[in-house]
Chain A
Amino acid sequence: MEASTEVWAVDTATPGGVRRLAPPPRSRLLSAFSVVVVVAVAAAFWIYPLESVRGLETPSGWKTGATVAVIVLAALASLLAIPAIHAVALSFRARRLESSGDIVGARHVAARAREKALRTFGFAGAAVVVLGLIMFLLTNNAAFVETFLSWEQIRRSASDIIHAFWLNLWIALASEALILVVALSLALVRASPGRAMAPLRFLAIAYIDVFRAIPLIILLYLVAFGIPIAEIPVLSDLPTPWLVVIALTVTTSAYVAEVFRSGIETVHWSQTAAAKSLGFSTTQTWFHVVVPQAFRRVLPPLLSYFIGLQKDTALVLVVGAIDAFGMAKIYAGNYFNLSSVTFVAIVFILATIPQTRFVDYLIRRQARKTGVRAL
């Protein structure tokens, strides 16, 4: 077979005279470098954190615990040497194979060596980040830990904070229920066809434009303080948390309406045609065919907005209601320590993550069963 040498990286001829397309990938330098990196990272782990821990001025029990933790982490970092050494060994084997003429075998082994070396780099990068975090926590005589993660402070404030968190939870759930209704109505009006709907469509668009533009904190302030002052019938008699729910609903439903609308638009028109051909009215087509499919698709962005909303409940602080954050601030002020506020943050994290996993599960299940995929 006539072959042009130019397109080949290296013109290697095997003893059998068969030309090969390319030499094995280079692996020796990469492997050697991975060993250097591992040695540097492990050394840093053994030197700096231990030094910081030794200088800590904390009760000896704490100090022993911290020392053990740091040593365990350093030992783990040292384990990175295993893939690095493996990479070097493989790269040498690749060279032996190559010189013995087994180009294909050398290629396989060299590729494995590179993979090992690259994996070492990945772990080493993560180890460096962890090291930075540890040093940050230990810095200035572990001042960070004392200020933000004081166990004593957390224990003192936890029960009051969890109690106050019910207000956040209640506001979030009430708002979410209302938002689903309001946002879906807005989206349906906005996506509705025909000239008859044009005036309502215009109003829906205006609502979405206006309330997406107003910062939530301003709207909250106006609603919670303004409505009682204006003595608007019914509304001004509502307790403050209800006014907060109204403000949150007004703002967030403008966003969620757009999420719903995008979902509605992704349902193919042939679905509408099929429903109509069976004799469904326009309304029936929306509610049995279009909206159920749209809703399934927008679950992930919908959840994102709801998580945002749950965090925004902490803004009730500006209108004087005591939620979890408000309670934590009282403790923080009284004891000049922010650990109670950190605890609120942890409570929010713990409340959020299960929801995310649950929606992931719903999406996977529905994709497996119905083929309806989320956006």
Chain B
Amino acid sequence: MALLEIDAVRKCYSDDEVLKGVSLSVDSHEVVCLIGASGSGKSTLLRCINGLETIEGGQIRFEGDVVSGPGVNFVELRRQIGLVFQSFNLFPHMSVMRNVTIAPIKIGGLSRSAAEERARVLLRRVGLEEKANAYPDQLSGGQQQRVAIARAMAMEPKVLLLDEITSALDPELVNEVLRLVRDLAEQGMTMVIATHEMGFAREVANTICFLHDGQILEMGPPAQIFEAPREKRTQTFLRGVLEAGTI
């Protein structure tokens, strides 16, 4: 049984169908990268998995439990599925330490000292131990995003969803964040990653999904998708990206 199963999920915003029956399954320790043009539904899919958006059709299962539809305990679900945002969304009125410890203390039931101990370990891993007392506004974008990853990891989720986490960063800051995600992948973190960084996706993913217009057009191991894409649209997309020099 896969850890996370997405089964024919549909999502509409009023008349606009953003996801048109997306199916995908993610095993433990697997890294899945979602690629595709902006507006193809990558972010929406991640937000649906996390329960930030309700879905109009299909089903999402986590560890065999159905976790979509009314009545689901999303608070409980979100403890197990972390989400990191494109625009970091750190809490600006809290120090870095507080950002990372507040969820474990208020929701995870950890004592303050235990939460701070855990936070220090995480901040060391993301290389920001000395910034514990800084405020988000005093950090660079890359540093903020690393804190945001530490904040999500502090809840010890079983799956981490990363929503274009380098898209809002200056180019020279992208690498420090990607390096961190690579580390997480090596340590066996299960991740679903929406990204425009093709080189990174190719290197870190077990599976690549190409989304187009709310559907998964093509799915497979990176070597196949990047070297021998079957779908014409995938070929067009990858050629476009290649010409832009992103890869």
Contact = CB atoms under 8 A, between A and B. Distances in A.
Given A279-B155, A284-B107, A270 B135 contact: no
Interface string B71-91: 000111011001101010111
Contact of B137 (A273, A289, A370): A370
A187 to B, nearest CB: 18
A274 B155 contact: no
B39 interface: no
A20 interface: no
Nearest to A366: B93
A73 B97 CA distance: 58
Contacts of B93: 292-293, 296, 370, 372
B48 interface: no
A278 B78 contact: yes
Given A289-B91, A371-B135, A277 B106 contact: no
A36 B82 CA distance: 74
Interface in A357-374: 369-372
Nearest to A268: B89
Interface in A269-301: 270-271, 273-281, 284, 288-289, 292-293, 296
Contacts of A278: 78, 82, 102-103, 107, 151-152, 155
Given A270-B87, A273-B52, A372 B92 contact: yes
Contacts of B138: 369
B89 A280 contact: no
A288 B98 CA distance: 11
A289 B90 CA distance: 10
Given A273-B89, A296-B93, A371 B82 contact: no
A371 B136 contact: yes
Nearest to B74: A276
B27 to A, nearest CB: 22
Interface string B127-141: 000000001111000
Contacts of B75: 279-281
B136 A279 contact: no
Contacts, number: 71
Interface in A235-276: 270-271, 273-276
B234 interface: no
Interface in A335-375: 369-372
Contacts of B108: 279
A57 to B, nearest CB: 63
Contacts of A369: 135, 137-138
A279 B92 contact: no
A253 B79 CA distance: 38
A270 B102 CA distance: 17
B92 A371 contact: yes
A271 to B, nearest CB: 6
A289 B93 CA distance: 8
Q: Which of B47, B76, B78, B79 has the most CB of A within 10 A?
A: B78
Given A274-B85, A371-B135, A280 B92 contact: no
A370 B136 CA distance: 7
Contact of A288 (B51, B76, B106): B106
Interface in B33-80: 47, 50-52, 74-76, 78-79
A350 to B, nearest CB: 32
Interface string A24-35: 000000000000
A275 to B, nearest CB: 8
Given A281-B75, A292-B93, A370-B135, A276 B52 contact: yes
A279 B107 contact: yes
Contacts of A277: 50, 52, 78, 82-83, 85, 152
A288 B78 CA distance: 17
Contacts of A289: 91
A306 B93 CA distance: 24
A97 B131 CA distance: 57
Nearest to A277: B83
A292 B91 CA distance: 10
Interface of A: 270-271, 273-281, 284, 288-289, 292-293, 296, 369-372
Given A277-B78, A278-B82, 19 more contacts: A270-B85, A271-B89, A273-B47, A274-B90, A276-B52, A276-B78, A277-B52, A278-B78, A279-B76, A279-B107, A279-B108, A280-B75, A280-B106, A280-B107, A288-B91, A293-B92, A296-B93, A370-B135, A370-B136
The 7 lowest CB-CB distance pairs between A and B, nearest first, are A371-B137, A274-B89, A277-B83, A278-B103, A279-B79, A279-B78, A279-B107
18 contacts: A270-B87, A270-B89, A274-B89, A275-B91, A276-B78, A277-B83, A277-B152, A278-B82, A278-B102, A278-B155, A279-B107, A279-B155, A288-B102, A293-B91, A293-B92, A369-B135, A370-B93, A371-B136
